[in-house]
Amino acid sequence: MPGGDLHLTLVRHGATAWNEQGRWQGVTDNPLAERGKAEAALLARRLRARAFDRAESSDLQRAVETATLALPGHALAGHTLNLDPRLREMNFGAFEGLTLPEMQAHPAFAHWQADPWHHAPPGGESLADVAARMQDWAGELDGGRVIAFSHSVAIRALLAGLFRWPPVPQPGYPLPLPVRLGHTGLSVLKRRAGHWTLRALGDAAHLEEG
């Protein structure tokens, strides 16, 4: 039943061409770049000895591709990958496809930066919106061992919501999230008796071994 003891592994997707170009992609549905496929292959080596009761993914193709490449055939014990749009990246609206300097030149940038936790980019969503849908998703998970493929901002918004991390402005970075997550990094949480603990954050040791 939802709320049971849970071991949750959250995975950021592999790199895309826009990631390599420094473009903010949000819900723009880009595929993995060759680098991202290589990262997912290295992750597969790390996960091959692990088994999961359930696998979830954002329905954006960079997350689905990462999951497909990274999960060994036996890891799901016959289960299929469940796609959930609540695991999507933050919708950056009019800022999608822009580099940070291009974003900063946008007339709506200053308003967004006044309170990016509660303010949304034009046509997009706020960090509070992202945290709410991610927490809604996590709260519905049954117990057991679950792996979920998602996105950097979405994962960090979930953690900020669950652990009540306050937004902290970051010099030279538009989001008030001090933690950064590398591609295919693993963040591991446990839920027991309704209480969450963070066991690992953005662990990408498999990339160093590759």
Which CATH number goes with the domain that contains 124? Answer: 3.40.50.1240
pLDDT score, position 28: 98
Is 13 annotated in the active site?
yes
Three-state SS at 157 = helix
Is 135 among the domain residues? yes
- At 73 the pLDDT is 67
The predicted pLDDT at position 116 comes to: 95
pLDDT beyond 70 at 69: yes
Q: Are strands 144-150 and 54-57 parallel, antiparallel or unpaired?
A: parallel
The answer to whether residue 26 sits within a structural domain is: yes
Please give the mean pLDDT across all residues of the chain.
Answer: 94
**Which carries the bigger pLDDT value, residue 197 or residue 73?**
197
1 assigned to some structural domain: no
Classify strands 186-192 and 195-203 as parallel, antiparallel or unpaired: antiparallel
Which tokens belong to 22? 């420094």
Domain count, the chain: 1
State pLDDT tens for residues 18-31: 999 999 999 999 99
Instruction: Kindly state the average pLDDT of the residues 77-103.
Output: 92
pLDDT over 60 at 1, yes or no: no
pTM above 0.85, yes or no: yes
Supply the pLDDT for residue 51. 87
pLDDT band per the 50, 70, 90 thresholds, residue 43: very high
Share of the chain above pLDDT 90, in %: 90
Q: Is the pLDDT of residue 210 over 60?
A: no
Q: Is 100 part of a structural domain of the chain? A: yes
Average of pLDDT values for 103-124?
97
Q: How confident is the model at residue 190 (pLDDT cuts 50, 70, 90)?
A: very high
**Contact status, residue 64 vs residue 57, Cβ threshold 8 Å:** yes
pLDDT at 76: 57
Marked catalytic residue, from 39, 65, 89, 125: 89
Neighbours of 94 (CB within 10 A): 16
Q: Quick: pLDDT tens for 73-85.
A: 655 555 689 999 9
* 65 is annotated as an active-site residue: no
pLDDT at site 4: 79
Q: Give the structural domain span for 70.
A: 6-209
- For residue 108, is it within any domain? yes
Q: CA torsion 121→125→129→134, rounded to 10°?
A: -130
pLDDT tens per residue across span 130-185:
999 999 999 999 999 999 999 999 999 999 999 999 999 999 999 999 999 999 99
What pLDDT score does 80 carry? 84
